[in-house]
């Protein structure tokens, strides 16, 4: 796998994750982005022994976009703190079924994760064992029977964007788990993590890593 580096310094590395690739290995035994980036760093810098690479956040297997890793324990600690404090800005773009009528909006729901089914159930009111989920969206354009949305996460729940958009009647294209009737290659869903904004681990500079907004491909 060719690693596409979007940003790198002494403590952090941001790369592009293609759809279909796990961020972290699981019981399937399939290759993961974490392992591939470790191998990339080991080879690039001729590092002996094991390479440290801290997992800071994740993307679903069938979602593509920006993933940030820590190359040092200091980097992992500093950036993990930013995630906990919600000072990191995460932007996504998604193609959804249907014409979204509101130019912008905020979705607030409560999500309960069913681990057996790997599915997020959505509730409109507070529910036992359900976590509050909030995102905002902006309508970018309409193409036929599909809408392109820019999404900013306020919370980071399991399958949050996929579940909440499906709940309002606009499932993400390719996301059969949440109601899409279309199939995309590599079991991809038309959701891309297009932007990640964070502070560097030592200099406190604000960095913004971006990807091109995905085009409609079906």
Q: Are 89 and 209 in contact (CB under 8 A)?
A: no
- DSSP reduced 3-state for 87: coil
Q: Are 79 and 70 in contact (CB under 8 A)?
A: yes
Query: What gap in Å lies between CA 78 and CA 202, rounded to an integer?
Result: 8
Largest Cα–Cα distance in the chain? Answer: 56
Residue whose entry in the numeric block shows the structure tokens 């999500």: 111
Based on the residue annotation, tell me whether 64 is a catalytic residue of this protein: no
- DSSP reduced 3-state for 141: strand
| Catalytic hit among 26, 30, 60, 64 | 60
Q: What is the token pair recorded at 48?
A: 């002996």
Q: What is the DSSP string of 171-202?
A: PBTT-GGGT-----GGG--SEEEEEEEEE-TT
**According to the 3-state scheme, what is the secondary structure of 128-152?**
CCCEEEEEEEEEEEEECCEEEEEEE
Residues taking part in catalysis = 60
């Amino acid at each position: 796998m060719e690693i596409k580096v979007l940003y790198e310094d002494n403590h952090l590395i941001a790369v592009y994750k293609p759809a279909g690739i796990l961020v972290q290995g699981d019981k399937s035994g399939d290759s993961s982005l974490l392992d591939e980036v470790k191998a990339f760093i080991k080879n690039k810098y001729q590092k002996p022994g094991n390479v440290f690479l801290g997992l800071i956040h994740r993307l679903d297997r069938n979602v593509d976009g920006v993933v940030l890793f820590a190359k040092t324990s200091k980097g992992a600690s500093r950036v993990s703190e930013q995630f906990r404090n919600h000072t990191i800005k995460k932007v996504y773009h998604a193609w959804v079924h249907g014409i979204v009528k509101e130019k912008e909006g905020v979705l607030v729901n409560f999500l309960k994760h069913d681990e057996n089914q790997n599915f997020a159930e959505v509730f409109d009111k507070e529910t036992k064992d359900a976590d509050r989920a909030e995102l905002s969206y902006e309508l970018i354009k309409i193409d036929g029977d599909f809408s392109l949305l820019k999404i900013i996460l306020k919370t980071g729940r399991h399958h949050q964007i996929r579940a909440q958009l499906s709940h309002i009647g606009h499932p993400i294209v390719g996301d059969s788990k949440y109601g899409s009737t279309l199939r995309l290659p590599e079991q991809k869903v038309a959701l891309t993590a297009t932007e990640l904004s964070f502070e560097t681990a030592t200099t406190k500079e604000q960095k913004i890593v971006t990807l091109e907004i995905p085009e409609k491909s079906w």
